[in-house]
Structure 1
């Protein structure tokens, strides 16, 4: 018997790949959205956000901060979502793809709401959905990991 293991890729893994790729599209769109808001607010690089005084004096600067924060928050959450999607996707690809796709779609709604300049609109525009999808991925990944451990994989 050889010391090599075989990795079996489940049917439906292409859905997982598509859902993960949706995050590439999401981040690209958010990046452009924040970039256009930066230009409108005239916030120079490398300044990450408009200063408090700038944001209070200019609606465009405040909107830039909101768009930038939506993008940054997505980047903060992304490792959790990607790792969970991959773990779940190896055993339950349709579930993983559905939850990751819902998360990406909800992040679009979240960003649209947040970028209005009213931070409260981030919660009414997809905030609850992306948290539900992320928690679904997190709990599914934990369950799947326990299954792998019990099976001795």
Structure 2
């Protein structure tokens, strides 16, 4: 049986994971707040198209809901790659995680204007996703080939 020893630098990776979780929670809080303002009752995920045409606040609610849902759609894979890659590459993983966070913030700031096209301001956050995926893949390859 082998023992895994975590480097002190892995703390940066963990800190980025915590910050990411706080960000996702903030997005959820914002959805709840805007839901109340738009008067979209639970359990409805979105205001329907007819309501959106009549009430701009319902359109804004849909934008906030989409910010949160889109972030959640990729959050588990982001978090898994962040934590695994951070075992071998803690500092690069923390930096890539930070890029993901900044991308999500810019995505939020763009989309929350009510103009969905403005969400592309956060597209650079994909560098974080793809970089973490690459580091995790490299780590897997290194582990598999180390015994060959």
Q: Is the 8 A contact 2:78 2:132 kept in 1?
A: yes
Per the alignment, residue 120 of structure 1 pairs with: 117
Matched residues in 1 for 2:10 and 2:73: separation?
A: 25
Q: Which residue of structure 1 lines up, in the alignment, with residue 127 of structure 2?
A: 132
Runs ≥4 residues deviating over 2 A: none
Match of 1:144 among 114, 139, 145: 139
* Contact kept? 1:87, 1:145, Cα under 8 Å: no
- Alpha-carbon separation, structure 2, partners of 1:24 and 1:51: 29
2:16·2:94 contact (CA, 8 Å) conserved in 1? yes
| Aligned partners of 1:19 and 1:101 also within 8 Å | yes
SS for the counterpart of 1:48 is: coil
For structure 1, the 5+ residue unaligned runs are none
Does residue 59 in structure 1 map to residue 60 in structure 2? no
Q: Using the alignment, how far apart are the partners of 2:107 and 2:81 within structure 1?
A: 21
What aligned pairs does 1:6-17 form with structure 2 within 5 A after superposition?
Answer: 6-17=3-14
Matched, 1:22 2:11: no
Q: How big is each residue's C-alpha offset from its partner over 1:64-94, in whole Å with a ceiling of 9 and x where there is no partner?
A: 1011001001100011111111111010100
2:77 pairs, out of 80, 83, 86, with 80
TM-score by length of 1: 0.92
Deviation at 1:111, TM superposition (A): 1.0
Structure 2 residues without counterparts, runs of 5 or longer: none
Within 2, Cα distance between the matches of 1:58 and 1:113? 20
| Count of aligned pairs | 148
* Distance in 1, Cα, partners of 2:19 & 2:53: 35
Instruction: Please give the root-mean-square deviation of Cα atoms over the aligned residues, in Å.
Output: 1.4
